[in-house]
């Protein structure tokens, strides 16, 4: 059913014969538009997270023009609305502090302007969930346009992957196996085109999740940013959103419980970033869908890891794209997905992946040759994490998955940085490194500190992995036996706050447990003596964040942002 032009939301701004619409039309003329250029056409807001400090989105100025080209072709009227860019490399203390701010901005930009539908331009980690959360709450038709991965990095004959190889070669530099000159050459070769991180980090995971949710055009998420196909995908996205507005295809029809289960399944098959757990729970909350940590564990247990991409595997996103991309991966998953789920393309997921083929079975594995038969991620609970925590099993060491060892505790990052390489640090390969004060409130913003460095003296002795536990997150490009997202966090009085050096901690991944082996009466006495840390910020956004952010198991959204719906603004 095609809507009539008078039913467009923007008609309220432009269509009436009153004083206000006179103002809107005269101001459109001021911008150089005659009424016939926009009258009766869907107004498409292009939310562009371009910035001169976001290297992953450097191509977005051009891409916005390509989206506009598509919108014009389909008979729409495009307007570009700049939105806060969340730049993973540059923004401190962490972009996670601002994901909800972008979500609020996206929602209110759409609500307050004469817009009928939106194209969301994101890709660098938090931009994807931030934009989708906000646009979902607003409820207008939208298509997500993924930034696309950057091309592979290179150092001599070595292929370099974002993040993962930074950590790897930093350890080599710390132990003296590469020179300062090598390190500088790696710096020059690891990021050499537009686009987001090209390992299976948070960016690749979340753009794939968005496509699996049905929010992008089929096959969009893996197209490298620098490929001409990416520009063509942007034009097609512009064309499609105009039709979506006429069809009045709203996010509520796409973002069903089945769509979220599909997204979680795809994340597991990709060996995706643990950050996706937090983001998908928050996105589901906006769509009114119940998604819990236990859902992730349940899906993980039945989903094989098929994508051979770093850090869990060997290849990079351009290889994945050439091997067939997400459509090919989803067709391998077959019956593990709900193929009847509707997508923004106007078709079902099943229709979108029909005919997709795997061109390189080493990159996209068949289920009989999976990287792991199941279990990319495990959700654990126990006396140290009553509300849960997560571990990326596909990036962990098998011999540490059942381990008991004495805790070495760090109170915040400064304490960690000052002490970790000290010669007198009482630590060995069996120790369990614990970092606290790094959660949503404590960090603040739950920084990606969860891949705690291995103490230098152990690194030199050949120790490459240890059990590490924190209330922090971890970059999707990281690896190691790192227990993350411990909830409640220490700053909120979680048991993590009570751990002391030497306490025995038991990790049991097969049993899905994380326990602090300290008698109850001793813990009660410690709790009695515990005092919450003073708030870090007395005013401004940071103060609001600390008051309203939910814990990791609830997605770290603000408590007042769940769900959707708010009155349309009055126009007078
Ligand atoms: Fe932008 Fe990794 S820095 S995606
Ligand atoms: Mg990242």
Q: What separation in Å is there between the alpha carbon of 344 and the centre of ligand 2?
A: 27
Query: Residue 16: what pLDDT?
Result: 83
Instruction: Kindly state if the Cβ of 89 falls inside 6 Å of ligand 1.
Output: yes
**Residue from 165, 203, 222, 316 to probe ligand 1 pocket by mutation (most atoms less than 8 Å from CB):** 203
Ligand nearest to the CA of 311: 2
Does the residue 327 lie in any domain?
A: yes
- At 397, list the tokens: 């060491």
State the Cα–Cα distance between residues 163 and 165, nearest whole angstrom.
6
State the Cα–Cα distance between residues 146 and 196, nearest whole angstrom.
9
Query: Residue 359: what pLDDT?
Result: 98
- Same-domain check for residues 49 and 168: no
- Percent of all residues in the chain with a pLDDT value above 70, rounded to a whole number: 100
- Same-domain check for residues 271 and 411: no
Query: Residue 394: what pLDDT?
Result: 85
Q: Is cis: bond before 444, omega within 30 of 0?
A: yes
**Residue 17: pLDDT band with limits 50, 70, 90:** confident
- Same-domain check for residues 181 and 106: no
- Same-domain check for residues 419 and 391: yes
Does the residue 556 lie in any domain?
A: no
Does the residue 550 lie in any domain?
A: no
Does the residue 557 lie in any domain?
A: no
Q: Which residue among 318, 353, 388 closes a domain?
A: 353
**Residue 239: pLDDT band with limits 50, 70, 90:** very high
**Residue 403: pLDDT band with limits 50, 70, 90:** very high
Gyration radius from the chain CA atoms: 24
Q: Which helix (H) or strand (E) holds 417?
A: helix 412-419
**Residue 173: pLDDT band with limits 50, 70, 90:** very high
State the Cα–Cα distance between residues 475 and 469, nearest whole angstrom.
14
Instruction: Kindly state if the Cβ of 225 falls inside 6 Å of ligand 1.
Output: no
State the Cα–Cα distance between residues 46 and 327, nearest whole angstrom.
26
Q: What are phi and psi of 561, to 5 degrees?
A: -105, -5
Q: What separation in Å is there between the alpha carbon of 56 and the centre of ligand 1?
A: 6
Q: What separation in Å is there between the alpha carbon of 95 and the centre of ligand 1?
A: 11
Overall average pLDDT of the 64-76 stretch = 98
Q: Is cis: bond before 239, omega within 30 of 0?
A: no
pTM of the model: 0.97
- Percent of all residues in the chain with a pLDDT value above 90, rounded to a whole number: 94
pLDDT digits (tens, 9 = 90+) for 452-471: 999 999 999 999 999 999 99
State the Cα–Cα distance between residues 33 and 452, nearest whole angstrom.
55
CA 101 to chain centre: 15
- Same-domain check for residues 163 and 146: no
- Same-domain check for residues 106 and 176: no
- Same-domain check for residues 131 and 231: yes
- At 159, list the tokens: 């292929």
- Same-domain check for residues 28 and 81: no
- At 81, list the tokens: 């609305």
Would you list the DSSP string of 538-567? SSHHHHHHHHHBPPGGGTS-BTT--S---P
Does the residue 545 lie in any domain?
A: no
What is the domain range of residue 169? 154-188
Query: Residue 571: what pLDDT?
Result: 87
What ipTM was reported for this prediction? 0.95
Query: Residue 44: what pLDDT?
Result: 98
- Same-domain check for residues 120 and 234: yes
Among the atoms of ligand 1, which is closest to the Cα of residue 54?
Answer: 1
- Same-domain check for residues 276 and 420: no
Q: Is cis: bond before 311, omega within 30 of 0?
A: yes
Total domains, the chain: 4
- Same-domain check for residues 309 and 401: no
Does the residue 330 lie in any domain?
A: yes
Does the residue 368 lie in any domain?
A: no
CA 113 to chain centre: 27
pLDDT digits (tens, 9 = 90+) for 73-119: 999 999 999 999 999 999 999 999 999 999 999 999 999 999 999 99
Does the residue 176 lie in any domain?
A: yes
What does pLDDT average to over the chain?
96
Q: Is cis: bond before 488, omega within 30 of 0?
A: yes
- At 119, list the tokens: 């194209």
- Same-domain check for residues 266 and 320: yes
CA 567 to chain centre: 29
Kindly provide the residue ranges of all beta strands, DSSP E only, lying in 83-209, ordered along the sequence: 117-122, 142-146, 153-155, 158-160
Instruction: Kindly state if the Cβ of 230 falls inside 6 Å of ligand 1.
Output: no
Q: Would the pLDDT of 179 be above 80?
A: yes
Domain at 482, CATH number: 3.50.30.80
Query: Residue 167: what pLDDT?
Result: 87
The dihedral through the CA atoms of 95, 96, 97, 103 has a sign that is: positive
Query: Residue 1: what pLDDT?
Result: 72
């Amino acid at each position: 059913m095609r809507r009539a032009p008078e039913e467009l939301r923007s008609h309220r701004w432009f269509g009436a014969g009153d004083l206000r619409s006179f103002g809107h039309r005269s101001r459109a003329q001021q911008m150089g538009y005659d009424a016939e250029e926009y009258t009766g056409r869907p107004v498409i807001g292009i939310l562009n997270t371009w910035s001169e400090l976001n290297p992953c989105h450097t191509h977005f100025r051009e891409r916005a023009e390509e989206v506009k080209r598509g919108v014009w072709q389909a008979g729409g009227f495009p307007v570009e609305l700049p939105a806060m860019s969340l730049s993973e490399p540059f923004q401190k203390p962490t972009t996670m502090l601002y994901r909800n701010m972008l979500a609020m901005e996206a929602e209110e930009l759409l609500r307050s302007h004469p817009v009928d539908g939106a194209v969301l331009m994101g890709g660098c980690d938090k931009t994807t969930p931030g934009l989708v959360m906000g646009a979902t709450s607003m409820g207008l038709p939208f298509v997500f346009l993924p930034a696309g991965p950057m091309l592979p990095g290179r150092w001599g004959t070595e292929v370099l992957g974002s993040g993962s190889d930074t950590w790897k070669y930093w350890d080599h530099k710390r132990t003296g196996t590469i020179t300062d000159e090598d390190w500088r050459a790696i710096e020059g070769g690891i990021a050499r085109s537009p686009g987001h991180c090209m390992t299976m980090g948070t960016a690749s995971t979340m753009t794939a999740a968005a496509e699996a949710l049905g929010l992008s055009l089929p096959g969009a998420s893996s197209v490298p940013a620098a490929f001409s196909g990416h520009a063509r995908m942007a034009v097609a996205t512009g064309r499609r959103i105009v039709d979506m507005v006429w069809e009045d295809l709203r996010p509520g029809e796409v973002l069903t419980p089945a769509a979220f289960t599909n997204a979680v399944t795809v994340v597991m098959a990709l060996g995706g970033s643990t950050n996706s757990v937090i983001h998908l729970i928050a996105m589901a909350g906006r769509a009114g869908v119940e998604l819990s940590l236990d859902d992730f564990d349940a899906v993980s247990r039945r989903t094989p890891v098929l994508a051979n991409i770093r850090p869990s595997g060997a290849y990079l996103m351009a290889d994945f794209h050439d091997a067939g991309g997400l459509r090919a991966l989803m067709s391998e998953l077959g019956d593990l997905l709900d193929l009847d789920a509707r997508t923004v393309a106007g078709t079902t997921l099943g229709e979108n992946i029909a005919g997709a083929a795997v061109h390189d079975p080493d990159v996209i594995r068949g289920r009989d040759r999976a990287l792991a038969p199941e279990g990319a991620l495990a959700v654990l609970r126990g006396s140290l994490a009553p509300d849960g925590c997560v571990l990326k099993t596909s990036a962990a060491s098998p011999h540490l998955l059942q381990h008991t060892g004495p805790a070495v505790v760090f109170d915040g990052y400064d304490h960690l940085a000052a002490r970790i390489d000290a010669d007198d640090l009482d630590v060995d390969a069996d120790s369990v490194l614990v970092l606290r004060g790094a959660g949503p409130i404590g960090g603040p913003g739950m920084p990606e500190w969860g891949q705690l460095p291995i103490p230098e003296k152990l690194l030199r002795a050949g120790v490459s992995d240890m059990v590490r536990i924190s209330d922090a997150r971890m970059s999707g490009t990281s690896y190691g036996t790192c227990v993350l997202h411990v909830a409640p966090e220490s700053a909120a009085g979680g048991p993590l706050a009570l751990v002391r050096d030497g306490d025995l901690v038991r990790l049991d991944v097969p049993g899905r447990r994380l326990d602090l082996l300290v008698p109850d009466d001793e813990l009660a006495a410690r709790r009695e003596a515990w005092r919450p840390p003073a708030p870090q910020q007395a005013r401004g956004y940071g103060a609001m964040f600390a008051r309203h952010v939910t814990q990791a198991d609830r997605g770290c959204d603000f408590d007042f942002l769940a769900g959707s719906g708010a009155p349309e603004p009055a126009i007078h």
